[in-house]
């Protein structure tokens, strides 16, 4: 009998045929880098959001602890620094980046980030990236990646920046802080500064933001929420709590809808509308762009403590469902409609216009966002913003107030939209919004308010509060 015939189950005169093996996908040799790379691929190919795609992938692959922390650092860091990384890669590659396969370019970015912005040993950064590319795109591409990364490893980030930074001061700062040039210029124009404060504002986008919670008025105090969550009461919002770590979704007050995640800047803008004095408040309030429901929930809770009611308008049926969920149990009626023509009768006492915008004020929370927006987006958005604000001013009663809010410091979206509204509506006046942000420093010359991450620890929210005259 042969050796094969002597094996258990082997093919012999009377033995059964061998059972075929079930193919198994081997586990990734480097789960952290593989997860970061796959998320970068999703961002590039499917316009995924890193803060949604990566946590889902980590959970699916059961990656936790140090591997999860490394994957998060590599993915978010690479996504933020794309412009800087591409500049260095282009200096070391023998072909235009536009000709590269997207998987190869994403791999190069991931490797370059490790070389320039982490303490990972160069040989580990290069070899791990080459392994990823070999598995994804083949040995020929991996050889190219190996050669480029070895060139990048010859210098550290400061040396590359000294070599590649343009002569223009703001453009050089944009490269050093990994921002598109147009965003750096937009921030500089809003700040009135192209030097130290602009650099502070741009660098704040790369700092990991704390999680902010809102305690639901009438249900739980900020002090109680801070004690339960091991957080700290927020410095400016009477309902705010800031967390340094942890998953807010695991907190009992959040699960029971006694609190929700909301940047303190957003809280302050909603509160500004509530704080504005009226000759009388009939309790008829409106949130014209309510999705996904954070400001509507805060205003709805305040309405509940005062016997008022809030209408919340959201064009997307899916997002309207989120508003209903956020406002469950509150005196809030949700309308699925276009905020430009919601089909509502005029006569509201208070109207919030939290308008769609470029989102340049929340870049620190969305690592890939700075590279997705383009100056050409602004014109369409400002047209929408003007129309929404015009509708709000038509729905508010004489003597009532409208708060125009965007998460952006970009002047065309902020003072430009408000100036257009004032020009078109001579009976409307701007309040000094700074008075509606008590205790908040460094609010500028007014009458509008611009918050900043580097000044206030909030998103860069803009707020203008307008009053419609008694007669127009």
Q: Using CA atoms, how far apart are residues 47 and 42, in angstroms rounded to an integer?
A: 7
- Smallest Cα–Cα separation from 183: which of 49, 375, 362, 415? 375
Q: Using CA atoms, how far apart are residues 452 and 373, in angstroms rounded to an integer?
A: 19
Q: Using CA atoms, how far apart are residues 204 and 196, in angstroms rounded to an integer?
A: 12
- What residues have CB less than 8 Å from 69, skipping those under 6 apart? none
- In the block, tokens 């002569």 appear at 167
Q: Find the helix or strand (DSSP H, E) in which 214 lies.
A: strand 211-215
Per the CB < 8 A criterion, the answer to whether 355 and 388 are in contact is yes
φ, ψ dihedrals at 21, nearest 5°: -75, 140
Q: Which two tokens stand for residue 339?
A: 């905020």
Q: Using CA atoms, how far apart are residues 145 and 93, in angstroms rounded to an integer?
A: 9
407 assigned to active site: yes
Taking only Cα atoms into account, the Rg of the chain, rounded to an integer number of angstroms, comes to 27
- Facing residues of 212 across strands? 242
- In the block, tokens 């602004």 appear at 378
- Facing residues of 353 across strands? 404
Sign of the four-CA dihedral 183, 185, 186, 190: positive
Q: Which two tokens stand for residue 91?
A: 């200096």
Q: Using CA atoms, how far apart are residues 313 and 293, in angstroms rounded to an integer?
A: 10
Ramachandran assignment for 128, one of left (phi > 0), alpha (psi -120 to 50 degrees), beta (any other): alpha
CA dihedral 408, 326, 353, 356 (to 10 degrees): 40
Measured CA to CA in angstroms, residue 438 lies from 160, 237, 441 at distances of: 45, 9, 8
Q: Report H helices in 256-335.
A: 264-275, 294-306, 317-326
φ, ψ dihedrals at 310, nearest 5°: -120, 130
Q: Report H helices in 396-471.
A: 415-424, 453-456
Q: Which two tokens stand for residue 143?
A: 């050889």
Q: Using CA atoms, how far apart are residues 67 and 188, in angstroms rounded to an integer?
A: 38
Active-site residue among 75, 92, 327, 407? 407
Which residues are known catalytic residues?
A: 407
């Amino acid at each position: 009998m042969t050796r094969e015939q002597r094996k258990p189950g082997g093919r012999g005169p009377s033995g059964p045929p061998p059972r075929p093996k079930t193919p198994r996908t081997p586990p990734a040799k480097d789960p952290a880098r593989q997860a970061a790379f796959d998320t970068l691929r999703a961002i590039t190919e499917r316009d995924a959001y890193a803060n949604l795609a990566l946590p889902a992938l980590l959970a699916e692959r059961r990656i936790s602890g140090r591997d999860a922390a490394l994957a998060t650092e590599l993915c978010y860091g690479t996504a933020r620094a794309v412009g800087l990384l591409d500049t260095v890669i282009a200096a070391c590659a023998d072909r235009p980046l536009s000709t590269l396969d997207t998987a190869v370019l994403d791999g190069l970015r991931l490797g370059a980030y490790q070389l320039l912005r982490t303490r990972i040993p160069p040989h580990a950064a290069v070899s791990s990236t080459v392994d990823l590319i070999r598995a994804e795109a083949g040995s020929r591409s991996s050889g190219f990646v190996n050669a480029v990364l070895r060139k990048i490893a010859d210098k550290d980030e400061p040396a590359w920046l000294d070599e590649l930074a343009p002569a223009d001061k703001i453009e050089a700062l944009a490269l050093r802080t990994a921002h598109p040039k147009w965003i750096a210029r937009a921030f500089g124009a809003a700040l009135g500064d192209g030097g130290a404060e602009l650099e502070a504002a741009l660098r704040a986008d790369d700092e990991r933001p704390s999680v902010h919670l809102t305690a639901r008025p009438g249900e739980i105090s900020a002090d109680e929420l801070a004690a339960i969550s091991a957080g700290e009461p927020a410095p400016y919002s009477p309902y705010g709590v800031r967390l340094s770590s942890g998953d807010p979704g695991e907190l009992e007050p959040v699960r029971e809808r006694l609190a929700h995640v909301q940047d303190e800047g957003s809280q302050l803008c909603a509160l500004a509308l509530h704080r504005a004095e009226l000759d009388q408040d009939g309790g008829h309030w409106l949130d014209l762009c309510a999705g996904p429901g954070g400001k509507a929930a805060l205003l709805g809770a305040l309405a509940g403590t005062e016997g008022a009611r809030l209408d919340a308008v959201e064009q997307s049926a899916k997002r309207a469902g989120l508003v209903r969920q956020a406002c469950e149990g509150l005196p809030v009626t949700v309308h699925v409609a276009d905020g430009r023509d919601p089909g509502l009768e005029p006569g509201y006492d208070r109207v919030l216009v939290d308008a769609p915008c470029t989102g340049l004020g929340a870049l620190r929370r969305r690592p890939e966002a700075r590279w997705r927006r383009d100056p050409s987006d602004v014109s369409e958005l400002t047209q929408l913003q003007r129309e929404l604000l015009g509708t709000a001013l038509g729905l508010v009663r004489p003597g009532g107030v409208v708060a125009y809010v965007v998460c952006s410091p970009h002047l065309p979206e902020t003072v430009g939209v408000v100036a257009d509204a004032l020009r078109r509506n001579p009976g409307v006046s701007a309040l000094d919004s700074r008075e509606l942000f008590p205790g908040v420093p460094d609010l500028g010359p007014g009458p509008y308010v611009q918050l900043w991450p580097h000044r206030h620890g909030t998103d860069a929210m803009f707020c203008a509060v307008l009053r419609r005259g008694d007669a127009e």
